[in-house]
């Protein structure tokens, strides 16, 4: 019953179309995950003032992006929701003394893009938990710790963000999909992997001071905070990097697993 915690870098919405190592990894890795009771996604693309859980029985596919190829807007991920699990999330956060709200909401692209690769049959129920707008790494670690007990109820926790996310550099330079990553991207990505695999939560909480080029890789914190949720939900399980690649030069597409899962390349 006990499920792992997974962190993925979801990259561009075109991840499902681009021929990249990250796309191939997610397709392969999804086949190893078995049949969790539900998948609880913590996506960088849902921010609320108070943590909020989605209660939709049939969550719609949200196209929260613009200017991408038309075929993306025809894609869906028609998984059922998990209102029963949503109530367990509410109970878990309330038991931890944290505020929690409910909302009938669909799946943003931080959720459905990786899920379309990892569970193309859309036959596993899905729900989301928001990150906290303006919240600290410590608050997101606490959020992860609160939902950790759901792992023993068959719920896989999928944190979806990005190890690096300097979109300003992307729009300035317009790199190609397979352009090499600069040192300031790979150095931060490798530092994060070393700290995760060492179980150094304190350094990851203080990543903006300790991580090389941290502020440049994360002008805003939203895409790194799901990793802190994963660290909290890991509940003592040390993480390991299960995928390393990059896309468009500045997006490090690393993934991590916490807990027992088959190894993937």
- What's the confidence (pLDDT) of residue 261? 72
The enclosing domain of 183 has a CATH number of: 3.40.830.10
**Residue 265 domain-assigned (yes or no):** no
The answer to whether 23 and 174 are in contact (CB under 8 A) is: no
The answer to whether 238 and 188 are in contact (CB under 8 A) is: no
**Residue 264 domain-assigned (yes or no):** no
- What's the confidence (pLDDT) of residue 12? 94
**Residue 192 domain-assigned (yes or no):** yes
Task: Tell me how crowded residue 187 is: count the other CB atoms within 10 A of its CB.
Answer: 15
**Residue 208 domain-assigned (yes or no):** yes
**Residue 139 domain-assigned (yes or no):** yes
**Residue 249 domain-assigned (yes or no):** yes
**Residue 103 domain-assigned (yes or no):** yes
Q: Tell me the pLDDT tens digit for each residue of 90-110.
A: 999 999 999 999 999 999 999
- What's the confidence (pLDDT) of residue 169? 84
Q: Tell me the pLDDT tens digit for each residue of 137-195.
A: 999 999 999 999 999 999 999 999 999 999 888 778 789 999 999 999 999 999 999 99
Give the domain extent around 104. Answer: 5-258
- What's the confidence (pLDDT) of residue 176? 94
pTM of the model: 0.96
- What's the confidence (pLDDT) of residue 85? 98
Percentage of the chain modeled with pLDDT above 70: 98
- Helices 225-234 + 183-197 axis angle, to 10: 20
For the segment 198-203, the average pLDDT, to the nearest whole number, is 97
pLDDT band at 264, cuts 50/70/90?
very low
**Residue 15 domain-assigned (yes or no):** yes
Q: What total number of domains does the chain contain?
A: 1
Mean pLDDT of the chain: 96
């Amino acid at each position: 019953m006990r499920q792992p915690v997974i962190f993925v870098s979801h990259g561009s919405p075109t991840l499902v179309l681009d021929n990249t190592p990250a796309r191939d990894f997610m397709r392969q890795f999804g086949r190893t995950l078995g049949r969790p009771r539900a998948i609880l996604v913590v996506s960088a693309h849902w921010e609320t003032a108070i943590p909020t859980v989605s209660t939709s029985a049939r969550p719609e596919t949200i196209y929260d992006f613009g200017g991408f190829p038309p075929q993306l807007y025809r894609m869906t991920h028609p998984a059922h929701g998990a209102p029963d699990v949503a109530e367990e999330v509410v109970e878990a956060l309330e038991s931890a003394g944290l505020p929690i709200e409910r909302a009938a909401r669909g799946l943003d692209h931080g959720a459905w893009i990786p899920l379309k690769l990892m569970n193309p049959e859309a036959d596993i129920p899905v729900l989301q938990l928001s990150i906290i707008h303006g919240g600290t790494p410590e608050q997101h670690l606490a959020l992860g710790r609160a939902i950790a007990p759901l792992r023993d109820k068959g719920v896989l926790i999928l944190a979806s963000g990005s190890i690096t996310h300097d979109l300003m550099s992307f729009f300035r330079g317009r790199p190609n999909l397979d352009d090499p990553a600069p040192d300031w991207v790979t150095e931060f990505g490798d530092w994060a992997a070393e700290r995760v695999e060492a179980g150094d939560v304190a350094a990851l909480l203080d990543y903006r001071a300790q991580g090389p080029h941290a502020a440049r890789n994360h002008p805003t914190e939203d895409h790194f905070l799901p990793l802190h949720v994963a660290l909290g939900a890991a509940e003592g399980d040390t993480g390991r990097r299960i995928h390393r690649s990059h896309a468009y030069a500045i997006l490090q597409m690393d993934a991590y697993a916490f807990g027992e899962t088959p190894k993937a390349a």
